[in-house]
Amino acid sequence: MNRLLLATSNKGKITEYIQILNGLPYEFVNLKELGIKGNVKEDYSTYKENALHKATEYARLSGLMTLADDSGLEVDALDGAPGVLSARYAGENATDADRVNLLLSNLKDVPLEKRTAKFVCVIALTLPEGKSELYYGECSGLITFEPSGENGFGYDPVFYIPEFKKTVAELPPEIKNRVSHRGKAAVSVYKALKELAGMK
């Protein structure tokens, strides 16, 4: 069975990818399992560049087909921030709670109707020989005034989807994986991997 490297140290992302890509004839491995230490820096200004850089570097280091993504939250009232800096919004060693608290603090005087936002995800799938493909996903919603929900990670507890009248952190995994930015991009990855495996 072919191995596919999920090139992230984020346990939440690894869990989601395994759920979404379930049923494919691949053995999913992560950086820790391969003994790959240290992070490839995400110092580019776009999701696409960061995702490509990570996937290419980790494919080179592992010799495996590699999936890497870059994603972020773009809030209209903050001129698109935190954007590509979403994971580092409150500093390098900040927790999810630190980032959420800073976001809510920066939006404290903004009324609900102006708290529109979107999650964006770009996934890069790179073959060992270096060929890469990109896959995109977006999810629109509103930023709540306080966190709600125990599922998910990152900004999920404050990202409200009007269609479901719930935050992403209140959605069960099967619905989140269908409607989220990462889920939408990963569905296209699923189709590509299925084709690569020769499945009908």
Q: Residue 86 in contact with residue 99, Cβ under 8 Å?
A: yes
d(Cα 36, Cα 45) in Å, to the nearest integer?
Answer: 25
Contacts 24+ apart (CB under 8 A), 37-43: 39/9, 40/7, 42/70, 42/84, 42/87
Q: Which residues are 123's β-sheet partners?
A: 69, 135
H-helix or E-strand containing 175?
Answer: helix 173-179
**43 a catalytic residue:** no
- Given 43, 69, 70, 98, which residue is catalytic? 70
Strand partners, 119: 73, 139
Taking the CA of residue 2 as centre, how many other CA atoms within 13 Å lie in the half-sphere pointing to its CB?
17
What pairs with residue 98 in β-bridges?
none
CA 6, chain centre distance (Å): 12
DSSP assignment letter at 164: T
> How far apart (Å, rounded) are the C-alpha atoms in residues 134 and 74?
20
Residues forming the active site: 70
